[in-house]
Amino acid sequence: MADKKEERPSHQKRATWHYKFHESRTPAQKFADLLAQGMGSWPFIIWQTVFVVFWIFLNLYGYTQHWDPYPFILLNLLFSTQAAYAAPIIMMSQNRQADKDRLHAEEDFETNRKAKEEIEMLQTRLDEIESKKLDKILAILEKK
């Protein structure tokens, strides 16, 4: 892996929204995500292309023994079946990604809200300190 991630203690990993989200997935959801990841990759496209070329070559070359003559109805049926199952599984994975993005946005909003409260509290405290220092300076100047 070109990009090494810092290792965190296990108690810190459990505290992140990312870890909680991934650990809450069911086995079927994990399978759907894995399938969507595989089907959305270049190796899948390349292997599927090789398969199609091989299928067509065998059926055109074996003119007398071809099992799927032109226009390759069986190959078309295989692709239709693959698409019929792949599309909903990929959509389930995409919906989970949308849920993950929404959770991430909510966590970011909560972090930003807490940071804003802390900054406002610090600003109020700094204003108090500045006001006290100015009062002391004025008191010293009045004595002179």
Number of domains in the chain: 1
Residue 81 domain-assigned?
Answer: yes
Number of Cβ atoms within 10 Å of the Cβ of 93: 21
Q: Residue 109: inside a domain, yes or no?
A: yes
Contacts of 70 (CB under 8 A, 6+ apart): 59, 60
C-alpha distance across the termini of the chain, in Å: 71
**Residue 86 included in any domain:** yes
- Whole-prediction pTM: 0.55
Cβ atoms of 55 and 63 within 8 Å: the answer is no
Q: What is the pLDDT of residues 72-121, one digit of tens each?
A: 888 889 999 998 988 888 888 888 888 888 888 888 999 999 999 999 99
Query: Residue type for 85, please?
Result: Y
**Tokens encoding 90:** 């990929």
Could you tell me the pLDDT band of residue 34, with boundaries at 50, 70 and 90?
confident
6 assigned to some structural domain: no
Q: Is the dihedral of CA 4, 5, 9, 13 positive or negative?
A: negative
Within-domain flag for 53: yes
Q: Give 59-83 pLDDT, tens digit per residue.
A: 877 666 777 777 888 888 999 999 8
3-class state of residue 65 by DSSP: coil
Distance from the Cα of residue 48 to its chain's centroid? 26
- Other Cβ atoms less than 10 A from the Cβ of 33: the count is 19
Domain span at residue 78? 28-143
Encode pLDDT of 14-30 as tens digits. 677 777 777 778 888 88
Residue 22 lies in a domain: no
